[in-house]
Amino acid sequence: MDRNLDAARSGPLWLTREEIARDAAEFARIVRYIENNPVRAGLASKPEEYRWSSAYGRAL
């Protein structure tokens, strides 16, 4: 299934790092925000405790 054809658009489906963050500090802030979503949702008490988080992988 081609998502671009379904949506009648072209280009990448996902944004690259450069398209979502202006610098390394902003990128780090965005990563922290995403990694804290399971904590805010009550699925874990710390980001690295959530098995499917990138924080879990970095904590190993």
Residues 31-44 have a mean pLDDT of 93
Residues 5-10 have a mean pLDDT of 62
pLDDT at 14: 62
Average pLDDT over the chain, rounded to whole? 79
For the chain, the structural domain boundaries read: 16-59
**Rounded distance, CA 8 to CA 37, Å?**
31
pLDDT at 2: 59
Contacts of 47 (CB under 8 A, 6+ apart): 35, 36, 38, 39, 53, 55, 56
Q: Token digits for 23? A: 């610098």
pLDDT exceeds cutoff 90 at 43:
yes
Range with top average pLDDT, 2-6, 9-13, 19-23, 28-32: 28-32
DSSP-based helix, strand, coil % in the chain, nearest 5: 55, 0, 45
